[in-house]
Structure formats: C-alpha cells, structure tokens
Amino acid sequence: MQKKDVVLNKKPRWKLLHQYYQYTGFYKFVGLSLKKAILPIVLFIGALLVVNEFVIDINHVLITVTETFSPIGIFAVFLASETILGLVPPELFIAWAGKSTLPLLYLTLLATASYLGGIFSFFIGKAITKIPSVHTYLETKMSKHIRNTEKWGGFLIVVGALLPIPFSMTSIAAGIINYKFRHYLLFGLLRFVRFYGYAIVIFKIV
C-alpha cells in the first residue's frame, strides 16, 4: 500500500524540472535577459530609422556593400565575430543579406556561420581547460556563465541560441565544463530559429 502511495504521489518529470528552474532562478534569468535584449534591438532599429531619414540612405549603403565586397569575405568576418564573443551584432549582417541578390540563401549561410562559430567557441572552451593560466583567468571573468551552464545546461544553451545573449560565451562555458557535445549540437540548432525569426519579424526578408 505504501509503495502504491509513493507511485501515486510521484510528480511528473516536467513538474520537477519546472520546480528546479524556478528555485534556481532560471526563469528570472530569462526574464532579465529578455528585458536587456529588447532595449538594444529597439535602439538599433531606431538608430537605423534616424540615420536612414536624416543622414544617409541605409538601403543604398547595404546595396553598395553587396556590390563592392565579396560575400565570402563578409561571411568570413561574421564567422570570426561569432567565434570571438560575438563582437559585431548579427542584425547588421541580416540586414545585409536582405539586400543581396539571394537573401534567403545568404540568411541561411549567416545562420550556418553563427552555428559553426558557436561550435568553434565550444572547442575553444575545451582547449582552455588545458592551459591552466588562461583557464583560471576565464573562470574568473566568466564565472557567472560557467556557473549558470553547470546549473541549467541545455536550457541555457537554448536561451543563448535564441536571445541576444553572447552565444559564443555560452558555448565557451559549455566547452569548459565538458558539456555533452551531441546535446550542444542539438540545442545549438535553435540558432537558425533566431536568424529566421529576426528576418521575418524585423527585416521582412523571408
């Protein structure tokens, strides 16, 4: 009888996970991240509108860039940026893709470059663990990311892939803690969702 009561009282796995993420502050972290993400996006779009209206035609600039610079070179710069802490906002490249001759293809290539940049960052994190001095330095600088990745694992990678949190930092932290690579690859695919989502909602590309 007691065994039956234990089985009946056992909570579903999703409820246990929900409680865990609630207790550890995951939902609060996501909420704060969303708040932080909205302002830069609004400021970026506002700045583009102001510059386009009063300074220079943004459409003309983007078209000029697509006609002047090699797409391979631009993809290479973006890949490097996404590998090294996401130094350049992806939105600039998404806007560039929208003015190219093959916007959907270029957008897909950008998303692929971002995904690959995350993978490179993951292996940078793994390599860092073999260099004691660098490992100690980054553990101090990235202690919050590493701690969060240890607590939340795949869900933090999902958040990093979808939201304007530096995906590279999340990927490096995942590499440092030796997170399962196949799981990282799976969750990282949501990077494509972010790029297509931005393209549809903000830039009306797709």
Q: What is the pLDDT of residues 44-62, one digit of tens each?
A: 667 767 776 677 766 666 6
Q: State the pLDDT confidence band at 91, using cuts at 50, 70 and 90.
A: confident
pLDDT in tens, 20-40: 767 777 777 777 766 766 776
> What are φ and ψ of residue 70, in 5° steps?
-70, 130
- Look-up: residue for tokens 């892939």? 161
Report the mean per-residue pLDDT for the chain: 79
pLDDT in tens, 133-170: 776 766 676 777 777 777 787 788 888 888 877 788 88
**What is the C-alpha separation between 129 and 133, in angstroms, rounded?**
9
Whole-model pTM over 0.75: no
**What is the C-alpha separation between 100 and 98, in angstroms, rounded?**
6
